[in-house]
Structure 1
């Protein structure tokens, strides 16, 4: 189905964040995955290394985004390009929650600081 409704989205919660997955293999995509990310105000992100590029479009709120040790603030309208294999962390700043639209390719795996990996269902 070319139009995916919010009712068809799969919702996953991890590390205090909500991932509302619209496009993924289970919804018919062969190459791309995309989801809405909602993170409560004041949440410190979990550093990780994504195995594939990710693009985050900030829809609302603000976050300190750190990629390979370089930190910048991203606010509504900003786009963050995360290279595959980069160390990446998002810390929500300001008074409100962060809302972003995230896109990557099918097969993303995230390596956590302890060496373990997460294969997120919203990207596989």
Structure 2
């Protein structure tokens, strides 16, 4: 049984956010990816198109999730699903750090505003 200890989780940084990678193909999963996203206060997220479905659960702080231009304020315990093909971004305009648990199917990829396709290392 693959177990990923907190001390072994890899941390990546991109667009003013930290991605702590736990479950992904590189750690033994064949179907799922799970990571924690940390967003500092005052951060406005970078919009990007997701090519697979993505689910979010806020565990700390508050964020605004934008899906195809529609904004939703999320607080601890709130969850949201962004459909494949949507354009998303996450903002933390509050004064406290925010943290979310995020899950996607293996094979997840996104397209950045400049058209660059990215398979993020925290999901591969």
Answer yes or no: same fold by TM over 0.5: yes
**Mapping of residues 1-124 of structure 1, within 5 Å:** 1-124=1-124
Q: Is the 8 A contact 2:2 2:27 kept in 1?
A: no
- 1:2, CA displacement in angstroms? 3.8
1:4 partner SS: coil
| Residues in 1 aligned to 2:101 and 2:80: alpha-carbon distance in whole angstroms | 10
1:3-31 deviations in whole A, cap 9, x for unaligned? 32102211111112110000011110001
- 1:99, CA displacement in angstroms? 0.2
1:20-77 deviations in whole A, cap 9, x for unaligned? 0000111100010000110100101010111111111000111111101111101111
- 1:80, CA displacement in angstroms? 1.2
- Normalised by the length of structure 1, the TM-score is 0.95
- 1:107, CA displacement in angstroms? 1.1
- Normalised by the length of structure 2, the TM-score is 0.95
1:7 partner SS: helix
| Residues in 1 aligned to 2:84 and 2:97: alpha-carbon distance in whole angstroms | 26
Q: Runs of 5+ in structure 1 lacking a partner?
A: none
- 1:86, CA displacement in angstroms? 0.3
